[in-house]
A and B are shown apart, each in its own frame.
Chain A
Amino acid sequence: MNLLFEGFAWIFDPAHHGGDEGIGTRILQHLGITLVVMVIASLIAIPLGYLIGHTGRGRSVVVALSGGVRALPTLGVISLIALSVGIGFTAPVIALVILAIPSILAGAYSGFEAVDRRTIDAARAVGMTEGQIVTRVEVPLGLPLLIGGLRSATLQVIATATLADYVGAGGLGRYIFSGQATNDYPQMLAGSILVIMLALVSEALFSLLQRSLVPAGVVAAEQRQPDGETSGGPTRKSGPRRSLIAGARR
């Protein structure tokens, strides 16, 4: 346990705070990589997921592809891309985008699929156009599941961005790799503690966001029928719920 104190002592040592090698810079680099990856992955995955969710086409292909990507070792992808585009920022960003897309995609299409068919039929019956059904009904109702997808993708990206420095892209992983090279275990621990804290903070923020983004109408409806979720209840938090989907698309 003494080592753990040394790790924390390393973090609180003012000598490690400022400058190009400081904790502040490394956290910003780590968050910068995460942000760039999440923006690119979202721009690709959200429209595609919405398209799949709205039309109901292509879902099986995407499910199979997402399963395949899960087997793909990210370290291998980073290495592979680094050999072709060179050392630096690009290789980890591309590899992390590949890692992030399946979760966001699943959140986007399962959010749409979880919408009760009767709600969509009702929207069509009151004269909404397809565009209005998407933007005014499916997007708001699917938002909690989409945020759930973004949440797990962000978690994965923050965690895996630790590997970015393995090809020289900086971030908090630097402390782990340079600590290892110089046999400086407290430094490795410090880097690890910082990444773990970053991941936990992101989880906490997303869970708050997820709760605040449920449309008011849905909250009101749930309060009117407090027992509405007892049958399939255990899994309302995050991630695509297949039972829900199966019920909606029967």
Chain B
Amino acid sequence: MNWIGNNLPLIGERTLDHIAITAPVILLSFLISVPIGWVANRFTASRGIVLSASGVFYAIPSLPLFVALPVILGTGLRSPVNVTIGLTLYGIALMVRSTADGLASVDPDVTQSATAMGFSDSSRFWRVELPLAGPVLLAGLRVVSVSTVSLATVVAVLGVPTLGLFFTDGVERNILGEIWAGIVMTIVIALVFDVIIVQLGRLLMPWTRSSSAAVSRPGRRTRVVAPV
């Protein structure tokens, strides 16, 4: 475990590298998935196509995708663009499904009431459907966040600097502490991201805070909205 004590600055640097790669990916996945999920949910015909396309995309193994992607993008194998786009594609594949499911979970009575009250299509989406779909979106985003942070270690075998380099280097040089440092820091980043996302959710959706109290009240019909 001497290695850890002697290499604290390096651990910090790689942790920051890891965050610099994963944080934009998580944000991008979310921003891109909301419109796609909306399209998937809006029209019956597009729903099947979009969801099966995202399913097939998710089925593509990650390391091979990182190897094959530069051919299509024209970037280098170790280019951050390649890694960011690859990870974002996975994030989108996961997140589109959550978005479509979340929007589908909004009670049709509610959307019809909103229309009857005079909401335009766009304000109905932003002020009624999206907030009500929020908890499902949040749950999806948490999955995207954890899997992105963990997946980003894989690109180290191609030589991209992330926490995964501690694994490849640790095996080569037979340093157990180095591998532990990589695993622990990956989990720490995943946990910190998760806490941030959950707190943002509580901030943006204050009504979900009281719903846990409502669930425990007996005899009341409740809907479990947040698959964790």
Question: A interface vs B, CB < 8 Å?
Answer: 1, 3-4, 7, 63, 67-68, 70-80, 82-83, 155, 158-160, 162-163, 166-167, 173, 176-177, 180, 185, 188-189, 191-193, 195-196, 199-200, 203, 233-235, 237, 242-243, 246
Bound complex: CA of A167 vs CA of B64, how far in Å? 17
Q: Is B9 an interface residue (CB 8 A)?
A: no
B167 near A73 (CB under 8 angstroms)? yes
A200 near B59 (CB under 8 angstroms)? yes
A195 near B64 (CB under 8 angstroms)? yes
The 3 closest A-B pairs by CB, nearest first: A159-B61, A192-B64, A242-B227
A70 near B68 (CB under 8 angstroms)? no
B59 near A203 (CB under 8 angstroms)? yes
A167 near B65 (CB under 8 angstroms)? no
Q: With A75-B154, A75-B167, A199-B60 as given contacts, are A80 and B179 in contact (CB-CB < 8 Å)?
A: yes
Q: With A70-B146, A79-B168, A163-B63 as given contacts, are A180 and B190 in contact (CB-CB < 8 Å)?
A: no
- Beyond the given pairs A67-B146, A162-B64, 14 more chain A to chain B contacts, judged by CB atoms under 8 angstroms and listed by A's residue number, are A71-B146, A72-B150, A72-B186, A76-B183, A79-B182, A80-B183, A159-B64, A163-B157, A166-B157, A188-B67, A189-B67, A196-B60, A199-B60, A234-B100
Q: Is B20 an interface residue (CB 8 A)?
A: no
Bound complex: CA of A192 vs CA of B82, how far in Å? 15
Against A, the Cβ 8 Å flags (1 = close, 0 = not) of B177-195 are 0011011001100110000
Task: Name the distance in Å between A96's Cβ and chain B's nearest Cβ.
Answer: 13
Bound complex: CA of A68 vs CA of B156, how far in Å? 22
Q: How many residues of B contact A (CB 8 A)?
A: 50
In the complex, chain B residues whose CB is within 8 Å of the CB of A4? 68, 71
Task: Name the distance in Å between B52's Cβ and chain A's nearest Cβ.
Answer: 9
In the complex, chain B residues whose CB is within 8 Å of the CB of A188? 67
Bound complex: CA of A184 vs CA of B182, how far in Å? 29
Q: Is B164 an interface residue (CB 8 A)?
A: yes
Tell which of A67, A72, A177, A191 touches B157, judged by Cβ atoms closer than 8 Å: A177
Bound complex: CA of A249 vs CA of B71, how far in Å? 50
